Structure 1
Amino acid sequence: MAEFKPMARIISHFGERLISSTQVALLELIKNSYDAKSPIVNITIDQKERKIIIYDEGDGMDGDVIENCWLVVGTANRLDDKEELEEGDVDVPLGEKGLGRFSTMKLGNHLKLETTTLDSKCIWNLEIDWSKYGYKSRLFLDEVENKFYKTQKKEYERKYTRITITDIKDFIGDEWTIKAINDFLLDSASKFINPYKALPRKFTVTVELIDHNGDKKKWILGKADSELFSQAHYEAKGTYVPGNLEMEYWVRNQGEIIEHLTVNIPLQRSLINDDKELEGYVGSFDYHFYIFNRTGSRLKEISNFGSSKEIRKALDRYTGGPMIFRDGFRIYPYGDPGDDWLELNKDRIRKGGKGRIVREQTAGYISLESTKAPYLVDQTNREGLVKNKSYDIFKRIVEEIFKTLGNVVSRNEKVRTFTDILDEAKESANNIESFLFNSQKQGNLINKEMYLAVMRDSEKIQEGLKQINRRERSLVEISAIGMTSMQIAHELHNFINKILSILFELQTSIPTGIKPRFELLEFNIKSLRTMISQIDEQAITMRRVKSSVDLVAQIKNISAAMEPILAKYNRKTKILVKNNVPSIVVKVNKGLIIQLFDNLILNSVYWINQIQVKSEDDFGVISIEITDDGEVLFSDNGPGISEIDADAIFEPFFTRREEGKGLGLFISKEIASFHKIRFELLREKNKWGRFNTFMIDFSSMKGD
């Protein structure tokens, strides 16, 4: 009978050549201790003696288990245990491929295993020289012998496993200082186990370093710094169950929660699969993300962490994108430096979600459970998940979370206003003037520091002037478009009137059967005329002419004219006009008032469409309430306006729209000022905790 005859070097493909890094190798051994039901695992890295010791107090092994499981390549005992689990079981075996023990080969050349069970009368010892299994070995696998023997068990000893790895390959060079080890523990080892979420049972990982001089230092790998993350500028957590994605989020500004809401994120049909038997099934998972704005002014909002530099150093330990954990243990390389698995730093996410979330701002985790997400499986080398259809859909679902979160960030980050730019430029100019005056007065020569200070202030002024020039050009372009639009609208208005006259003449002579078609055509042309007349009437604004206008009728006309425009948006939106009195006459410039309400409605419908809804029946609503004394309350069920933007929205060029000019509300405010009409944002909050109601007070303009 012909059989495969493996060379000893095949073992290296399961150990040093498969496991990519020291941290992955250590993680595999920690997982083995957890699978053994140990409450602890102690790792000693001895630089002086060039050895690593891993000790746990789990179930231990006897001779039979060592020979028939530990020494069997690809043993299936953990996989069998997993298959007996039911969905919802939380204490899940982590291993399944039977290869984790070979990670010791990555760490050093010699292994000694000492282990005993509660019932064993002795300690079982196994010694392995990994160099005999190395890549260059020419021995057959059955030609290599390992030392396997028993020693006396002391009376006080119960159950444990101790692995001693000597002639270690890492941690021994001069570069491995106390600081380097400390950085390794804080940046990498501390995240072997999910630092944000407790395991189903108690499990403590302790690392002790004995340096080249024999000095000892000990660390207990604990939880993430809860005080730091409780101050994240943006926080989002939730659960995905097949077909339903929920997100609860918080927005913080100056240490206060300014927005808090739970939303359902709608998913494309192609991402929804609740049948476990179909390819692409994802299963459920939890997530919790933290976003930090790392600019100096925002970092100063974080308390009890010292300077901005110290805060950034603390954040560097956690940020880098979301990590993934399965059953509480890390899956590499997600969230590591240089691994942008969600491509957060690429334009695709920025453009799709409007927000500027990048890896360096992002911390947090995604928590998978083996019993709930069976097709999201590790690659054999423990370097990421297998790239199957389930993974592709899983990744797209997580991207949807970040797109939604990006929209939250986009509408809450402070935008530099026209006033901010001018104030900074003025302050810099004053600094330069004061500095030069004092220098001249005191007869001081300008040194390097003084020169750099002057240059910094000068650059601020130059940048401010550049932004002012850019915004001035935008204003000129918009003005030119407006003038052209009014000219075209005037000609179109006359042309449509001629068409309607011809239709009226034709109606008297057309057959009865096609008369309804003519009526429909006439209706559509009249609707077009109504919309164009809005632009045409605004040409009168150039002369600032005021006339008596029925406010109620005019607002209803504006709303009706907007219906065809609203129909072009994805989300159905209704304009509800509420009034108790049939008519209120005010003395205003009709064209300007049309422009004021057009700006408000267009602004509302844009932001209403930024909210993702699960059902087509979830309408957008714009409410215009006209009170008896001439006040108009304008609100919508969009996301609203954050407190930090409440004053800035009326400034020129302030916008949170990706392609916005930032002139709509500014122009509306100017129109109100021209009429001496009170126009303000009321401090009434919507369900997002944001302002959503404008008040336009026409009471002073009421006529007889």
Structure 2
Amino acid sequence: MDMKKHIHFKVNARHIGQLGRELVTDYITALVELIKNAYDADAEGIKIVFDNVKRKDGRIIIVDTGSGMSQQDVEDKWMVIGTNNKVRDTHSPKGRKFAGKKGIGRFAVERLAEKVKIFSFNSDEAPFKFTLNWNNYEEMNSVGLKQRFALLKHNPNDVQSAKYLKSHLDYLLISPEVNKEDKQYIETKLLGSSSFDYSIFLNNTKLINSLSDNLLPLIDKYKSLEVRIEDIKHDLEILNPSEIDDYIYEIENLQSEIELKKENSTGLIMVLEGLRDTWTQRDITKIQKELRLLVAPDFLDENSFKPILVADEFNLDNNLIVNDVLEVAYAKLVCKLDRNGENISLNYSERKSGKEINTHFPLEEPLHCGELDLELYFFVRDSKNMTNEILNLTHARAILDEFCGVKVYRDGFHVKPYGSPGNDWLLLDQTKVKDTHGYLIGNNQVIGKVNITEENNPLLIDATNREQIIENDAFYDLRSFVQICLNFIKEIRREEYLQKKREDDIQREQERKRREEEKRREEEEKHEEARRRGIEEQQKRLEEILRAKNEEEQIEKLANIANEIKNQSENDVLFYKNRLFQERKINEESQEEQKKIFVEKLDDKERELSLYKNLATLGILTGAFGHETADIINRIITDIAYTKKWYPSVLLEEKPGISSAYNKISSDMERVQGYSELIVNFVTKKKRSQMESVDFRKTIQEIASTYNNIIRSQNIELDYDLDHFESNFKMYQIDFESIIINLLTNAFEALKQTANKKVRLSCQEKESFYVIKCADNGKGIKEGQQEFIFSPFMTTKENGIGLGLSIVRDIIFRYKGKITVENSDNLGGAEFTILFPKDED
């Protein structure tokens, strides 16, 4: 007797319901899964139509413009549970990263409706259809039926219980395992008809009582019935010409709506009947909001996939367009986490002021969430900053409220709930509520998106319910990255707030002083007027006394006037003494305020000085490096030439790549040699210790010759206009070289993305000034940046420090000179102009 046999798993038909309603519990998640399937089929658009869903025969029709399915696709993929074709092949034929990979998304249809008809149009075979009645996969649940009967007896209008009852009866009537006599009994005796819908169970107490008494015993008869998935069959058939005309129109209509020109009209149409949900205005509004966020808005990605919602029975708000509100954004922020999570590159730009900052900063601890991109718009929610000729404040705020938040998109699809209405996963509002100054950022002040991908961010893992990201260390690092970027805006806002506060304080203080001064002036004028009137009165009285003939009376009255004059004089002295005391106090307060301002400026200068000291130390190390490597570089260049000379010529001819590699190495070493010579020449002691008359023309030519290798390797055309120019300006040689080196370095940096690179240096002698100009044909200076470009720590370079032009300006100012920048009329790029006064020794 054989003691061993093979066993295998079997799948009960009710497992379909577990994959549908029990796994996809939310109708929005179910719709999203179907939309993802259309996206994976390279659809350019998808339309979801709610067709008379308030009625008992309502339907949901889903149309897409994808590739459709072949009959083989239906059998080998659509009808296979947990198929791995999207795991094995990770991208669609058009290169899209597959959004659905678990092989169960199609069972979202079961969550939404009892029946589905699917019409497929692809380019390789005749259109066809197949129909699924999910009630075939129901299980007999007498306990559940008892509960539903009880609910209907309590509330005869319970639609969900009526639908539940209908699906169970449908199962009994279509199941081949139920005998004909029992089916006839249900149709004739219990229901009175073979055709029915769920509405017959509403407000029908008599029928509910009858079914409760007679159906449950029948159910118990079949409670041991076990149906396997593989035992249930579905019909697939070719469409007739009339059906083709009816349904191909739906696809062509969608193509027209999304402005798609396509040679062949392909796609898929799903008609969902026997809807499980009762749809309300609130549900449709929720779906509309979800579809707005499902794929990245146009301002963030040029995404050709467009979802469209049609629901004629409901009110759809189509006036909230995200691109409209972007026109009134206060600032835009673009950030990238790179270099294995150790560096953040950042670009910040303001709409009105034109202020722009390009910077990057290393992180003390690397973030382990993988490389990330963030694009974000920041808004100041007031009439000054959020209105234009299209938007008023109310409308702008309504759009912002709809789209606000920072959303996470994985491979082009929104990961719920991050950035959904009411979701504040970055805890912005929690911090904002403590804000007493107005510079902290609230969730309703930003619209943004973080891009993540399965390839770049493998540690950011979806939860099993296909929503949210598992909150592991990688997720917390993702949140930290976004918060760090937002803190950059917060710091700018804080500086602006403090600057405005200082300006307001100064203005208030000036206004206070003006009012006090005006009050003092009025008091002095009143005092002087009273004094003048007193003197006039005393003069009149004196004249009257002098006309009197009684000498004793005259003496007495004169004594009185003298006493009054004495008192008045004492009052005057006291008045002006108080005035002097007040003036002294005001001066002391003013000095204290000036001292405070001076201390703040001193702190800023000390910070700047500290960085200069660090740069000086770096300069010492750089000089040492230049000296130590000069001989090494010469030896390497000689060795390269030697090995190339004696390398077998036959091999060089057979493999031209070797010769090309030699040439590239030689070119690169020449560039290194150029920088080494530049460093050695620049740090020469003589240039730092003696102030002497500097020959501008000669110095410029010497620096340019040092740059020769660099200029040649980067194909830069350097043009001079120095003929017949002589200068006799006294300064440190190294200071002038610093100016020219900084200007040339900036020019070369600006030309990196320019095809025909040009730089022009010129010197002119005017009546009172020496004029030096440096121009290039790069992108030029953006509008509004001129006032910031010479500020310390202001840089547009990815790896810049932001001190080069600040140092240049300080040097020029030290010699009573002047520097300006504008865009060149001739070359089109930036043009720096320096003026040195000729009368300075």
Secondary structure of 1:317's match? helix
- Quickly say closer, same or farther: Cα 1:257–1:599, change in 2 above 3 A: closer
- Quickly say closer, same or farther: Cα 1:205–1:424, change in 2 above 3 A: farther
The residue aligned with 2:364 is: 268
- Quickly say closer, same or farther: Cα 1:202–1:592, change in 2 above 3 A: closer
CA contact (8 A) 1:354 1:406 kept: no
The residue aligned with 1:166 is: 273
The structure with the greater share of residues assigned to helix is 2
CA contact (8 A) 2:42 2:92 kept: no
CA contact (8 A) 1:109 1:130 kept: yes
CA contact (8 A) 1:378 1:384 kept: yes
Secondary structure of 1:195's match? coil
The residue aligned with 1:584 is: none
- Give the TM-score taking structure 1 as reference length: 0.54
User: Deviations along 1:549-587, whole A, 9 cap, x unmatched?
Assistant: xxxxxxxxxxxxxxxxxxxxxxxxxxxxxxxxxxxxxxx
- Quickly say closer, same or farther: Cα 1:229–1:218, change in 2 above 3 A: closer
Distance 2:378 2:476 in 1: 24
How far is the alpha carbon of 1:112 from its aligned partner? 2.2
- Quickly say closer, same or farther: Cα 1:65–1:596, change in 2 above 3 A: closer
User: Deviations along 1:586-605, whole A, 9 cap, x unmatched?
Assistant: xx99x998765333223566
- 2:233 aligned with 1:225, yes or no? no
Alignment of 1:409-558 (within 5 A): 409-413=493-497, 417-418=504-505
How far is the alpha carbon of 1:339 from its aligned partner? 1.8
- 2:458 aligned with 1:378, yes or no? no
The residue aligned with 1:327 is: 411
Equivalent AA in structure 1 for residue 380 of structure 2: N
Equivalent AA in structure 1 for residue 34 of structure 2: L
How far is the alpha carbon of 1:409 from its aligned partner? 2.5
Distance 1:413 1:185 in 2: 40
Partner of residue 304 from structure 1, selected from 389, 405, 411? 389
CA contact (8 A) 1:354 1:403 kept: no
CA contact (8 A) 1:235 1:251 kept: yes
Distance 1:376 1:95 in 2: 16
- Quickly say closer, same or farther: Cα 1:128–1:683, change in 2 above 3 A: closer
- Quickly say closer, same or farther: Cα 1:7–1:314, change in 2 above 3 A: same
How far is the alpha carbon of 1:306 from its aligned partner? 4.1
Secondary structure of 1:115's match? strand
Secondary structure of 1:147's match? coil
Secondary structure of 2:270's match? strand
CA contact (8 A) 1:91 1:200 kept: no
CA contact (8 A) 1:114 1:162 kept: yes
The residue aligned with 1:285 is: 372
Distance 1:208 1:688 in 2: 50
- 2:45 aligned with 1:61, yes or no? no
CA contact (8 A) 1:286 1:366 kept: yes
The residue aligned with 1:396 is: 480
CA contact (8 A) 1:23 1:189 kept: no
From the CA coordinates, give the structure whose radius of gyration is larger.
Answer: 2
- Quickly say closer, same or farther: Cα 1:601–1:129, change in 2 above 3 A: same
Distance 1:411 1:210 in 2: 51
Partner of residue 32 from structure 2, selected from 19, 27, 35? 27
Alignment of 1:670-689 (within 5 A): 686=791, 687=794
- 2:310 aligned with 1:208, yes or no? yes
Distance 1:543 1:409 in 2: 33
Equivalent AA in structure 1 for residue 326 of structure 2: F
The residue aligned with 2:291 is: 189
Alignment of 1:75-94 (within 5 A): 75-82=83-90, 91-94=96-99
How far is the alpha carbon of 1:318 from its aligned partner? 0.6
Secondary structure of 1:394's match? helix
Distance 1:40 1:92 in 2: 16
Distance 2:487 2:112 in 1: 41
How far is the alpha carbon of 1:347 from its aligned partner? 3.4
Equivalent AA in structure 2 for residue 26 of structure 1: L
Unaligned runs of 5+ in 1: 272-279, 426-540, 546-587, 619-681, 695-704
- 2:427 aligned with 1:343, yes or no? yes
CA contact (8 A) 1:41 1:55 kept: yes
Equivalent AA in structure 1 for residue 453 of structure 2: E
Identity of aligned residues (%): 21
Distance 1:598 1:334 in 2: 45
Equivalent AA in structure 2 for residue 230 of structure 1: E
- Quickly say closer, same or farther: Cα 1:595–1:111, change in 2 above 3 A: closer
User: Deviations along 1:249-282, whole A, 9 cap, x unmatched?
Assistant: 1234xxx1342111113212342xxxxxxxx4x3
How far is the alpha carbon of 1:233 from its aligned partner? 1.3
How far is the alpha carbon of 1:617 from its aligned partner? 7.3
Secondary structure of 1:411's match? helix
CA contact (8 A) 1:284 1:372 kept: yes
Secondary structure of 1:165's match? strand
- Quickly say closer, same or farther: Cα 1:341–1:11, change in 2 above 3 A: farther
Partner of residue 149 from structure 1, selected from 227, 230, 236? 236
How far is the alpha carbon of 1:356 from its aligned partner? 1.0
Secondary structure of 2:450's match? strand
How far is the alpha carbon of 1:35 from its aligned partner? 0.9
The residue aligned with 2:348 is: 249
The residue aligned with 2:676 is: none
The structure with the greater share of residues assigned to strand is 1
Distance 2:70 2:312 in 1: 31
Partner of residue 453 from structure 2, selected from 336, 344, 369? 369
The residue aligned with 2:752 is: none
User: Deviations along 1:405-449, whole A, 9 cap, x unmatched?
Assistant: 221222234856458889999xxxxxxxxxxxxxxxxxxxxxxxx
- Give the TM-score taking structure 2 as reference length: 0.46
Segment of structure 1 superposing worse, 282-291 or 155-164? 155-164
- Quickly say closer, same or farther: Cα 1:159–1:258, change in 2 above 3 A: closer
Distance 2:81 2:395 in 1: 47
The residue aligned with 1:259 is: 355
Aligned residue pairs, count: 444
The residue aligned with 1:238 is: 335
Alignment of 1:85-104 (within 5 A): 91-104=96-109
Distance 1:607 1:313 in 2: 45
How far is the alpha carbon of 1:230 from its aligned partner? 3.0
The residue aligned with 2:401 is: 316
- Quickly say closer, same or farther: Cα 1:108–1:683, change in 2 above 3 A: closer
Distance 1:247 1:685 in 2: 20
User: Deviations along 1:672-704, whole A, 9 cap, x unmatched?
Assistant: xxxxxxxxxx999623799x999xxxxxxxxxx
- Quickly say closer, same or farther: Cα 1:268–1:21, change in 2 above 3 A: farther
Secondary structure of 1:345's match? helix
CA contact (8 A) 2:16 2:137 kept: no
User: Deviations along 1:77-120, whole A, 9 cap, x unmatched?
Assistant: 011111899xxx96212221112112223322322222243222
How far is the alpha carbon of 1:333 from its aligned partner? 0.9
The residue aligned with 1:599 is: 600
Equivalent AA in structure 1 for residue 394 of structure 2: K
How far is the alpha carbon of 1:354 from its aligned partner? 10
Distance 2:428 2:128 in 1: 52
- Quickly say closer, same or farther: Cα 1:599–1:382, change in 2 above 3 A: same
- 2:207 aligned with 1:108, yes or no? no
Q: CA RMSD in A?
A: 4.8
